[in-house]
């Protein structure tokens, strides 16, 4: 199954839940009341200063999903108002990832920077109305005047300049007459307002920088609070959905739109996604990348969409996850196991099976003729008969998983042990008749087994049962491959909160990546990057783009559920 994202195996979109979230309820009310003429129009407004992560997937799926559910429109719009942080590379990655997730915006791709001229005009309007003024305070002085959470701020000494003077100064700001940080345009609201956001917020700052789309055209740039509502208004957005931290900004969003008297969308806030064992802030993710703690934004351990895709996550699994976590205003942390469950659920139905051995133990079938090879039929996917079968070669020397043999099997261990018989998947029953050890280390280096020719294919004509089925590969035919086994990137459920005196990076899991020299069945030899399959009994794996013709690299997307591991763990605790 190569190109998992483009194939036609995708299941239909999940049916709408019987109950709807509070945002959809609000949308329904607005439709009923005719607030926006019955229209629904949303947008996803990323800043191109980093890669999209699973939290953005939630946001996209709310924005896009609501537009789709109500036959509305959905805009992709970059909020590129800060040239200091934004880059074209991120624009490209974000577009690619959002498309991969499944969002569709047709020709409605927009950039806030394309509205700069209109925003500027509106700013002049506010200046003329006496609702905005040019302030000569420096950054630290602005802070000092702002007051605190419990005490009011002080008016800027420049607050009462005439409209004419403000207009002149503002135009000269735009013309580039002033140095960075020397002046700002501020809204004239109320320096004593209990909501700090309303204490004469900055609308424009002077920034002589190269903008990724505007070049050097501008040296003043609008602040988020001023720009965002205007962007929504220009595009005719009805419901401007954002995360909880903007709740305190909604009065400002409304104030600007009201002062201008222009079309006024409704902002609604929801809780952002948190996941156990992962960090979700762009700043922290950026730090991981910059410090080389991971190989890049698309490192398979990263919660970025690029990382998840490389890891082997499908858009379907991520969307199902987004559906299941719901939407609410409660700060919450979703168990990462739910994400993993969604992937397993999706891949169980779709991923072809294969056999691969990650930690090989040599097995010689003593009664199998040397130099002889048999081609056995293996089912490609027990969950999907239409997936058909394939041939796997069987010969005298095989590899099985080291952990599938124990010289002294503990209770409930059903796998191979001296004298014990097990089934080799789709092959034969084999019995362990001898153990070869390294005389120096006493480590088991080889197993001697016999096979029962009457059990070809894996069934015994005499009806004798066997308690375990093992995966295996033929040593002679197996393909060497690199297997990258991943664990959580962090050792604690809430890594961003480090204990007193410790950095969040102290929670990084030093064992989050383990590289193994593996052997996989020959049918995988030409698997292309992105190909997803299940290694039977081990987990789901995805061919990494690092693969070359000579060397396959597999990423373990997620393990299979492992009830033996649980039994084993309990046993370890009990003793």
By CB under 7 A, the residues from 135 to 154 that bind RNA are 137-139, 142-143, 146, 148-150
**Of the candidate residues 26, 31, 284, 334, the single one contacting RNA (CB under 7 A):** 334
For RNA, the closer CB: 199 or 299: 199
Kind and range of the H or E element at 84?
none
Closest CA to 539 of 481, 466, 483: 483
Pick from 14, 130, 194, 545 the residue near RNA by CB under 7 A: 194
Segment interacting with RNA (CB under 7 A) among 163-171, 180-188, 390-398, 439-447: 180-188
Binding segment for RNA (CB under 7 A), chosen from 26-34, 63-71, 166-174, 203-211, is 203-211
Query: Residue 358 phi/psi, 5° resolution?
Result: -90, -20
Residue 208 binds RNA, judged by CB under 7 A: no
36 SS3 class: coil
CA distance 349 to 346: 6
Distance, CA of 572 to CA of 140 (rounded, Å) = 59
Of 23 and 103, nearer to RNA (C-beta) is: 23
Q: Which is nearer to RNA, 110 or 246 (CB)?
A: 246
Tokens of 479: 């393909």
Q: How far apart are CA 34 and CA 36, in angstroms?
A: 6
- Shortest distance, CB of residue 183 to RNA, whole angstroms? 6
**Are the beta carbons of 490 and 277 closer than 8 angstroms?**
yes
- Residue number, 84 or 438, with CB nearest to RNA: 84
- Contact at 8 Å (CB) between 243 and 271? yes
Annotate each residue in 466-495 with x if it binds RNA (CB under 7 A) or - if it does not, as one string: --xxx-------------------------
Length of the chain: 575
**Among 2, 5, 10, 21, interactor with RNA by CB under 7 A:** 21
Closest CA to 231 of 255, 204, 200, 265: 265
Smallest distance, Å, CB 545 to RNA? Answer: 26
- Is residue 197 at the binding interface for RNA, with CB under 7 A as the rule? yes
Q: How far is the CB of 526 from RNA (least distance, A)?
A: 22
33 binds RNA (CB under 7 A): no
Phi, psi angles (nearest 5°) of residue 427 = -120, -100
Query: Least separation, in Å, of the C-beta of 157 and RNA?
Result: 13
Nearest residue (CB) to RNA, 181 versus 369: 181
- Alpha-carbon dihedral sign for residues 461, 463, 466, 467: positive
**Rg for the chain, CA atoms, rounded:** 31
In the set 507, 523, 534, 547, which binds RNA (CB under 7 A)?
A: 534
Rounded to the nearest whole angstrom, what is the least distance from the CB of residue 219 to RNA in the complex?
Answer: 11
C-beta of 548: minimal distance to RNA in Å?
28
Site for RNA in 77-116 (CB under 7 A): 79, 81-82, 84-85
φ, ψ of residue 277 to 5 degrees: the values are 65, 20
Q: Which of 259, 281, 333, 491 binds RNA (CB under 7 A)?
A: 333
One-character DSSP codes across 370-420: TT--EEEEEES-TT-GGG-EEEEEE-SEEEEEGGGB-SSPPTT--SB-TT-
Residue 161: closest CA among 177, 193, 137: 137
- Of 305-324, which residues contact RNA (CB under 7 A)? 324
Binding string, residues 422-461; x marks residues near RNA by CB under 7 A: -x-xx------------------------------xxx--
- CA–CA separation, 49 vs 68, rounded Å? 27
Catalogue the active-site residues. 47, 272, 282
- In 3D space, the residue among 378, 372, 564 whose CA is nearest the CA of residue 468 turns out to be 564
- Residue the block writes with tokens 């080799």: 424
Site string for RNA, 398-427 (x = CB under 7 A): --------------xxxx-------x-xx-
- Please state, as a whole number, how many other Cβ atoms lie within 10 Å of the Cβ of residue 47: 17
Site for RNA in 372-391 (CB under 7 A): 381-383
Which CB atom, from 161 or from 353, has the smaller least distance to RNA?
Answer: 353
Among 31, 286, 435, 560, contact with RNA (rule: CB under 7 A): 560
Shortest Å, Cβ 398 to RNA: 15
Comparing CB distances to RNA, the nearer of 369 and 571 is 571
**Contact flag: residue 504 with RNA (CB under 7 A):** no
Which of positions 212-231 make contact with RNA (CB under 7 A)?
221-225, 228
Site residues for RNA, 511-530, by CB under 7 A, read none
Q: Which of 121, 210, 291, 331 binds RNA (CB under 7 A)?
A: 331
Size of the site for RNA (CB under 7 A): 95
Contacts for 248-251: CB closer than 8 Å, 24+ residues apart: 248/195, 248/196, 248/197, 249/197, 249/225, 251/195, 251/197, 251/198
Binding mask 262-281 for RNA (x = CB under 7 A): ---------x----------
Three-state secondary structure readout of 139-195: HHHHHHHHCCCCCCCCCCCCCCCCHHHHHHHHHHHHHCCCCCCCCEEEECCCCCCCC
CB 444, min distance to RNA, A = 17
Specify the residue for token string 């609070």: 225
Query: Min. distance of Cβ 279 from RNA in angstroms?
Result: 13
Measured CA to CA, the distance from residue 525 to residue 520 in angstroms comes to 8
Rule CB under 7 A: choose which of 29, 92, 104, 180 binds RNA. Answer: 180
Are 439 and 431 within 8 A, CB to CB? Answer: no
Residue 566 contacts RNA per CB under 7 A: yes
- For the record, the structure tokens of 547 come out as 């693969």
Q: At 519, is the secondary structure helix, strand, or coil?
A: strand
Q: Does 206 bind RNA (CB under 7 A)?
A: yes
Residue with tokens 């000494």: 157
Instruction: Identify which of residues 266 and 353 has a Cβ nearer to RNA in the complex.
Output: 353
Q: Site for RNA (CB under 7 A): which residue of 125, 155, 190, 345?
A: 345
Binding of residue 69 to RNA (CB under 7 A):
no
The residue within the footprint of RNA, chosen from 329, 391, 448, 505 (CB under 7 A), is: 329
């Amino acid at each position: 199954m190569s190109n998992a994202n483009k194939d036609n195996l995708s299941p239909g979109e999940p049916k709408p839940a019987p109950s709807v979230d509070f945002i959809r309820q609000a949308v329904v009310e607005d439709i009923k009341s005719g607030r926006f003429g019955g229209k629904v129009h949303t947008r996803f407004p990323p800043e191109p200063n980093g890669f999209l992560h699973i939290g953005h997937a939630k946001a996209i799926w709310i924005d896009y999903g609501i537009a789709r559910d109500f036959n509305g429109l959905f805009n992709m719009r970059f909020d590129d108002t800060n040239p200091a942080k934004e880059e074209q590379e991120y624009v490209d990655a974000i577009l690619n990832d959002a498309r991969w997730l499944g969002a569709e915006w047709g020709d409605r791709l927009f950039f806030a920077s394309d509205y700069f001229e209109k925003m500027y005009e509106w700013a002049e309007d506010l200046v003329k109305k006496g609702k905005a003024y040019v302030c000569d305070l420096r950054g630290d002085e602005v802070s000092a005047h702002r007051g605190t959470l419990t005490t009011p701020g002080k008016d800027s000494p420049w607050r009462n300049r005439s409209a004419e003077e403000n207009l002149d100064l503002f135009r000269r700001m735009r013309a580039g007459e002033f140095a960075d940080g020397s002046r700002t345009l501020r809204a004239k609201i109320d320096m004593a307002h209990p909501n700090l956001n309303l204490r004469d917020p900055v609308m424009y700052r002077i920034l002589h920088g190269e903008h990724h789309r505007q070049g050097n055209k501008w040296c003043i740039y609008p602040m988020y609070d001023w720009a965002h509502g205007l962007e929504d208004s220009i595009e005719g957005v009805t419901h401007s959905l954002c995360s909880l931290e903007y709740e305190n900004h909604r009065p400002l969003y409304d104030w600007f739109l009201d002062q201008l008297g222009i079309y006024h969308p409704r902002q609604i806030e929801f809780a952002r996604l948190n996941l156990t064992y992962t960090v979700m802030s762009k700043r922290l993710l950026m730090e991981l990348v910059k410090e080389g703690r991971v190989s890049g934004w698309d490192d398979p351990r990263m919660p970025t969409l690029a990382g998840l895709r490389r890891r082997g996550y499908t858009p379907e699994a991520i969307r199902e996850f987004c559906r299941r976590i719901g939407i609410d205003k409660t700060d919450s942390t979703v168990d990462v196991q739910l994400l993993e469950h969604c992937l397993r659920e999706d891949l169980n139905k779709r991923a072809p099976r294969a056999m691969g051995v990650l930690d090989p133990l040599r097995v010689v079938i003593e009664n199998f003729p040397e130099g002889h090879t048999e081609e056995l039929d293996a089912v490609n996917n027990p969950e999907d008969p239409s997936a058909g079968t394939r041939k796997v070669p069987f010969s005298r020397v095989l590899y099985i998983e080291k952990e599938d043999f124990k010289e002294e099997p503990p209770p409930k261990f059903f796998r191979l042990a001296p004298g014990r018989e097990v089934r080799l998947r789709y092959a034969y029953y084999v019995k362990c008749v001898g153990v070869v050890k390294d005389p120096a280390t006493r480590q088991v280096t080889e197993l001697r087994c016999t096979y029962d020719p009457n059990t070809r294919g894996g069934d015994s004509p005499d009806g004798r049962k066997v308690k375990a089925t093992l995966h295996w590969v033929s040593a002679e035919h197996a393909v060497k491959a690199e297997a990258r086994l991943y664990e959580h990137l962090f050792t604690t459920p809430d890594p961003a909160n480090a204990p007193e005196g410790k950095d969040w990076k102290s929670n990084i899991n030093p064992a989050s990546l383990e590289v193994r020299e593996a052997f996989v069945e020959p049918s995988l030899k030409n698997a292309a990057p992105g190909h997803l399959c299940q290694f039977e009994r081990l987990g789901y794996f995805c061919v990494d783009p690092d693969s070359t013709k000579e060397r396959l690299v597999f990423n373990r997307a997620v393990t299979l559920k492992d009830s033996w591991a649980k039994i084993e763990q309990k046993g370890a605790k009990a003793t």
